[in-house]
Amino acid sequence: MTATALDTITAAFVGALQAGTGALAAFSLPLLGVFAIIAFYVHMGPLVASGSVNSGDALASVLLLAVKMGIFYWLLIYLAPIATAAMETFLQWGMAAASTPISSATMMQPSTIIDLGFKAVLPIQQLISRSAGWSNVWNYSNYFIYTVAKLAVLIAFFLVGLHLMMTIIEYHMAVLVGTVLIPWGVLQPTAFFTEFSIGWLTGGLVRLLVTGAIVGIAVPLFQILKLTTTPGDDPSLYSAIIMAFASLVFALLSWIVPGRAASIAGRGVSLALHGGALIAGAAGGLRGIIAVTSAIRGISRMMQR
């Protein structure tokens, strides 16, 4: 078994989640239809019951609801391709910021990160292998420190690869959930479901962007990083310790910074958006048009008199 087992696990989860997204897509449009009917009666009911409804108010309400349903319909139909294109774009942006030749396809393979860790500790492993036998009895402390440094580097790179795998899986899970949660935003009382879904998606995109930037910076750095050697062509103890600390810092940055950025992004979207934010903006323009039309009609009647 090699590190490509993580790639296999990632591909299996992503494939299963994409299949689940396709299966749940069959429920998204019926949900949208049900909520559209409810929203129609919610908007028209008070106007009809008040007895003061006119053709302008009715037409404006129906038109506004039609625009709203059209936006939701388009988003649900193209949610999967939009999400995939957004993921690739944000990954590409992160790696472009790092000025690295790594492609987005490489970022989809966590084994690349783990293999890089094994390449980084290869000189240390060779030293440990050459030092086997009675020589370890007299240099046990050095042997122990080299071993700890090697394990620290491997664990750090494994954690980075694991974080990348979890980020990819989590984003596809957010797309899966969004398929059936986005239609709930049609109604204001249930719009928090849509806010949660959009916040999760945007947070995942920000996490991918920051992770791509950090990994894009670190991978070429560790590829050219060379351990300082002694006159006997062995890696020095000092350089091995420094590499171990650098790898741990790399792992901490990869875990903490993207997570905090995603949390801030998701919370910001939840605070900035609500179920009627987009439609409220459209309604403002529509109300302006209706007001102008009414004013023109009033002036026309005055002139007729």
CA-nearest of 210, 195, 161 to 9 is: 161
Euclidean distance between CA atoms 215 and 251, whole angstroms: 10
State the residue for tokens 């060779």: 126
CB 227 within 8 A of CB 235: yes
- Residue 272's contacts (CB-CB under 8 Å, 6 or more residues apart) are none
Distance of CA 148 to the CA centre of its chain: 34
Can you tell me whether residue 229 is helix, strand or coil?
strand
Euclidean distance between CA atoms 98 and 112, whole angstroms: 17
Euclidean distance between CA atoms 92 and 141, whole angstroms: 45
Euclidean distance between CA atoms 150 and 128, whole angstroms: 10
Angle (CA) 185 53 183, round 5°: 10
| Full-model pTM | 0.77
Walk along the chain (305 residues) and give the pLDDT tens digit of each residue: 677 888 888 889 999 999 999 999 899 999 988 888 888 777 766 666 655 556 566 667 777 778 888 888 998 999 999 999 999 888 888 887 776 666 777 778 888 888 888 888 887 777 777 766 555 555 667 778 888 888 988 888 888 888 888 999 999 999 999 999 999 988 888 888 888 888 889 888 988 888 888 887 777 777 666 777 777 677 788 888 888 888 888 888 888 888 888 877 766 555 544 444 434 444 444 444 444 344 444 434 444 44
